[in-house]
Amino acid sequence: MTIKIAPSILAGDYAHMGETVKKLQDNGADYVHCDVMDGNFVPPITFGAQMIEHIRPYTSLPLDCHLMVLDPVSRVEDFVRAGADIITVHAEACKDGLLGALKHIKSFGIKAGAVVNPETSEEALFSAAEIADMLLIMSVHPGWGGQKFITESLGKIERLRNYCVKIGRPGLDIEVDGGVTADNAASVRAAGANVIVAGSAVFRSANMRATIEALRGE
Ligand code: DX5
Ligand code: ZN
């Protein structure tokens, strides 16, 4: 499977986010991971659809929007209009309507993702696996960059990949998010994740291109 690297702009320069995403593209990133936080689903507040609108002209890379927000369905259209290519919503925030949320996102002709927090079983994504374009396993508790990778995430990724194979979607994108570095990326890939989010590892690196390549296993 193609390994895709999605640096998270949570660790980027908020005063120069256009230049930040251009730099990511210039250094070989595959996606721009946009961590949207509402101060309710998670304590911090980061940015909303307007940030997506403003960075859109600076990159042709897919904008991979991770909505850490309550009632994400009500926010979808704003992010679609702003230029999001992928919108990922939390199973925990869509209590009884994850499939409906995914269908709503897909109705705009963009990709739909579903995500679970570390304390939520990967089984909460099994129904979504039938229609989602991407599944996301949080390998840190959402809200902050720079945290330590939760090693139990590897088993979740493996079980989720095995489930995708079982239902006849072996190539479904599985993204992992949080605490991934060049040191643990090989185990993340081996477990079955093929889309890797990295914030600190990319933005703290002295050589962004080399770090992105290392995360990809090159
Ligand atoms: C946390 C975010 C992650 C985080 C990753 O809520 O969803 O994307 O920014 O950052 P690092 O790679 O620094 O753990
Ligand atoms: Zn994220």
Q: Annotated catalytic, 96?
A: no
> Per the confidence metrics, is the pTM higher than 0.85?
yes
Q: What is the pLDDT of residues 105-136, one digit of tens each?
A: 999 999 999 999 999 999 999 999 999 999 99
Query: What per-residue confidence (pLDDT) applies to 168?
Result: 98
The 3-state DSSP class for residue 193 equals coil
| Residue of the CA atom closest to atom 9 of ligand 1 | 145
State the alpha helices, DSSP H only, in the chain. 17-26, 49-55, 76-82, 98-106, 153-166, 185-191, 200-203, 208-216
Query: What per-residue confidence (pLDDT) applies to 93?
Result: 98
Query: What per-residue confidence (pLDDT) applies to 150?
Result: 98
128 contacts: CB under 8 Å, gap ≥ 6: 91, 98, 99, 102, 114, 135
- Which two tokens mark 189? 């890939």
Name the percent of the chain in helix, strand, coil, to the closest 5.
40, 20, 40
Catalytic residue among 35, 38, 64, 173: 35
Q: Which residues line ligand 1 (CB under 6 A)?
A: 8, 10-11, 33, 35, 66, 68, 140, 142-143, 145-147, 177-180, 197-201
pLDDT, the chain, mean: 98
- Which two tokens mark 205? 């690196």
Nearest ligand 1 atom to the CA of 10 is 9
Share of the chain above pLDDT 90, in %: 99
Q: How many CA atoms lie within 13 A of 52 on its CB side?
A: 27
Q: Are 89 and 121 in contact (CB under 8 A)?
A: no
Q: Which ligand approaches the C-alpha of residue 7 most closely?
A: 1
Q: Which residues have C-beta under 5 Å from ligand 2, the single-atom ion?
A: 35, 66, 177
Q: What is the pLDDT of residues 84-109, one digit of tens each?
A: 999 999 999 997 699 999 999 999 99
Distance of CA 56 to the CA centre of its chain: 17
Distance CA 116, CA 131 (A): 16
If pLDDT is split at 50, 70 and 90, which confidence band does 81 have?
very high
Query: What per-residue confidence (pLDDT) applies to 178?
Result: 98
Q: Are 69 and 78 in contact (CB under 8 A)?
A: no
Q: Are 156 and 187 in contact (CB under 8 A)?
A: no
Q: Which ligand approaches the C-alpha of residue 9 most closely?
A: 1
Segment (H or E) for 36: strand 32-37
Query: What per-residue confidence (pLDDT) applies to 114?
Result: 98
